[in-house]
């Protein structure tokens, strides 16, 4: 099992403590732009692109959660970062949960946005994967992108929704399908209890993909975890409600 050299970017003051940001699959590291001004004030911020996203290579599948998490650990090792705080959104959070349970010394503090301990069966990511392989990425764009924003954002800031839709279209189809397969059977309920780092779980009130009940169950399983719900946002809450999400992240990982 070879590690894939992910594309990454490091910003912020040299020698400051490091915060690692892991995006949801289907989005690139630019999903974190709204967080950068706040987090780079007194932190180095390390962002990554998943396999097949941006300039990260897209090897043949299948992929496992472990493979994708080890890719991220590979970036940390390459940079010589032995201990970081980390923020994961959507499936990015699942990779950090794997790291928190399997490489506990790596993470100092953890924030999980729009997370879940297991993928709901009704999501049928296996079907999305099959469609991508059969008829291409365009055939699933609407299904994948629709839950990311509330109708309010789509109406008031259509250029934001358009940019994320365009970014999605640039992802490697094979890699995306392989990630969908990895997500479709994801069940980390056994890992959650092993997380020992100070953790904050943040759900979006209007997330049609992973409503707040998922975040609540995730937080309930992690000893001492803090749980917050952000109003006025769907799945990509860090974009739609950057103001509130930034407050929470600065408090938890950037203080």
Strand order in 18-22's β-sheet? 8-11, 44-48, 18-22, 84-89, 107-113, 199-204, 226-230
Mean pLDDT of 23-44: 98
pLDDT tens, position by position, 148-203: 999 999 999 999 999 999 999 999 999 999 999 999 999 999 999 999 999 999 99
Q: What is the pLDDT of residue 3?
A: 85
pLDDT category of residue 2 using cuts at 50, 70 and 90: confident
Q: What is the pLDDT of residue 200?
A: 98
pLDDT for position 119: 96
pLDDT tier, 254 (very low <50, low <70, confident <90, very high otherwise): confident
Residues 113-124 have pLDDT tens digits of 999 999 998 899
Cα angle value 174/180/185 (rounded, 5°): 140
- Look up residue 23 and give its DSSP letter: P
**Per-residue pLDDT band at 1 (split at 50, 70, 90):** low
pLDDT of residue 191: 94
Long-range (24+ apart) CB contacts under 8 A made by 140-147 are 141/165, 141/168, 141/169, 144/26, 144/168, 145/26, 146/208, 147/207, 147/208, 147/209, 147/234, 147/235
Average pLDDT for residues 77-81, to the nearest whole number?
Answer: 97
φ/ψ (deg, to 5) at 113: -105, 130
CA distance 86 to 244: 18
Confidence band, pLDDT 50/70/90 cuts, at residue 38: very high
| This prediction's pTM | 0.98
């Amino acid at each position: 099992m070879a590690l894939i050299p992910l594309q990454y970017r490091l910003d912020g003051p040299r020698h400051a403590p490091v915060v690692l940001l892991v995006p949801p699959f289907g989005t690139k590291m630019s999903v974190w732009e709204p967080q950068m001004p706040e987090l780079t004030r007194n932190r180095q911020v390390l962002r990554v692109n998943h396999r097949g996203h941006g300039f990260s290579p897209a090897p043949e599948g299948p992929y496992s959660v472990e493979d994708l998490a080890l890719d991220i650990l590979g970036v940390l090792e390459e940079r010589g970062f032995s201990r970081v705080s980390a923020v994961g959104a959507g499936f990015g959070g699942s990779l950090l949960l794997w790291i928190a349970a399997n490489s506990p010394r790596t993470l100092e503090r953890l924030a999980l946005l729009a997370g879940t301990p297991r993928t709901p069966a009704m999501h049928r990511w296996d079907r999305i994967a099959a469609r991508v392989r059969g008829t291409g990425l365009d055939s699933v764009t609407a299904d994948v992108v629709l839950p990311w924003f509330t109708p309010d954002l789509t109406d008031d800031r259509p250029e934001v929704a358009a940019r994320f839709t365009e970014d999605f279209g640039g992802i490697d189809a094979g890699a995306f399908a392989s990630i969908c397969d990895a997500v479709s059977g994801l069940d980390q309920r056994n890992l959650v209890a092993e997380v020992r780092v100070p953790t904050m779980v943040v759900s979006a009130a209007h997330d049609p993909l992973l409503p707040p009940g998922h975040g609540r169950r995730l937080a309930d399983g992690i000893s001492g975890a803090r749980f917050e719900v952000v109003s006025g946002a769907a799945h990509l809450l860090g974009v739609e409600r950057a103001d509130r999400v930034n407050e929470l992240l600065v408090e938890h990982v950037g203080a």
